[in-house]
Structure 1
Amino acid sequence: MEHQNDLFYIEKVLAGDAQSFGILVQRYQNMVFALSLKMLKHREEAEEVAQDTFVKAYKSIAKFKGDSKFSTWMYRIAYNTCLDRIKGNVKFNNNVEINDVTSNELEAVEHIFEGIERKERSEIIQGCMNQLPDEERVIVHLFYFEEQSLKEIEEITQLTASNIKVKLHRARKKLFSIFKNSVEHEIYSHYEQRAKG
């Protein structure tokens, strides 16, 4: 029965079948938790925000008009709930200095990443991503890891497409600076040589 589309369960919830919301929770709990963890970087906080997100979604499900995908609507609630938590807690604030980065250096990073084993690459990327400011980290996550379109990211974040593009570009530059500074110099040199060779 769980193969029905989201609208089927939304209509059942609106008709008074609260249990159908549980299927929607199962469908989207990993997605909501991943986004919350990406924004907050603290597992317990992310779990609380994920719970808050589903409570808010349940209470306001009648407002879902079907103009966007239900997943996009859920992302927007999770995103805004995280922002509220961040605003109230200074420990989430990050600031990374952008050093000037050339397009050749950006290309070099991509070659270097190709030479690193998948598991190691994932750990390095995760560590670097965690140092980005919250909004940029989430936009990078949505665009590159969740493969959301610019239009979907617009709906989730309420930012304009041009603003999102600027933030993505800035985030890539910051990631490069973080990568150079946080990964041991020898590892960087080793992979840079392998990429060239």
Structure 2
Amino acid sequence: MKKSVDRNLSDEQLVHYHLQGDQTSLGILYERHFNNVYYKCLSFSKDPIEAYDLVQEIFLRTFSKLHLFRGNSEFSTWLFRITHNFCIEDYRKKYRNKYEKLSSLVYDLADEEYEPNNLDNVSLESVIKSVSETEQLMLKLKYLEGKSIKELQDQFHMGESAVKMRLQRAKQKISKQMKFSYEMM
């Protein structure tokens, strides 16, 4: 009869037992970390069903890569990093090429009602690309999705002042790029 694994073992010990062939240790790790992974996924997706699906994918990926866990950090830290990266990757895939349809009001404007300005020729996409991907994501989360500074702190593992500074610098870069583009016309 096979001896069951002690539920009081550390995460790192459970990983070791799994690598030695014990399958019950994965269930213990799953139960222990499900809620943390789920709520992290939910903070990205805002949909409980989608968050649950993400959790399943993350645990499948994590458990298939357990042999790569070196133990330089706690298992929970390693799992959180995998979770965070997976959620960002999923977010980018979904929103990379997502465009909103223009409302019919735009099409209904008569030519004489439209007054063009010099900023019409500025590519908003090129202006936004003047900041790093992380800054783009932070700006989108803050201003399009209404995330709080505290949520950004948790998501990007930064202090409050670092988040505020990153947002401020990104806005300044975009403003400078807009001014430059305007002057070039």
The two structures have a TM-score, normalised by structure 1, of: 0.52
Whether the aligned pair in 2 keeps the contact of 1:139 and 1:168 (CA below 8 Å) is no
- Structure 1 residue 166 corresponds to structure 2 residue 162: yes
- Structure 1 residue 45 corresponds to structure 2 residue 50: yes
- Structure 1 residue 8 corresponds to structure 2 residue 13: yes
1:82 to 67, 84, 87: 87
Paired-residue identity, %: 26
Aligned residue pairs total: 121
| Higher normalized helix content (fraction of residues) | 1
Work out which structure has the larger RCO, using CA pairs closer than 8 Å and 6 or more positions apart in sequence: 1
| Offset of residue 142 of structure 1 | 5.7
Q: How large is the RMSD of aligned CA atoms in angstroms?
A: 3.2
Bigger CA radius of gyration: 2
2:154 alignment counterpart: 141
Structure 1 residues 95 and 33, CA gap change in structure 2 (3 angstroms)? closer
Whether the aligned pair in 1 keeps the contact of 2:12 and 2:74 (CA below 8 Å) is no
- Does the residue aligned with 1:66 lie in a helix, a strand or coil? coil
Separation in 1 of the partners of 2:62 and 2:72?
A: 16
Structure 1 residues 139 and 71, CA gap change in structure 2 (3 angstroms)? farther
Gaps of 5+ in 1: 99-129, 144-152, 154-160, 172-197
Give the aligned residue type for 1:132.
Answer: K
2:73 alignment counterpart: 68
1:31 alignment counterpart: 36
Whether the aligned pair in 2 keeps the contact of 1:25 and 1:54 (CA below 8 Å) is yes
- Runs of 4+, deviation exceeding 2 Å: 93-98, 136-143, 168-171
- Does the residue aligned with 1:89 lie in a helix, a strand or coil? helix
The two structures have a TM-score, normalised by structure 2, of: 0.55
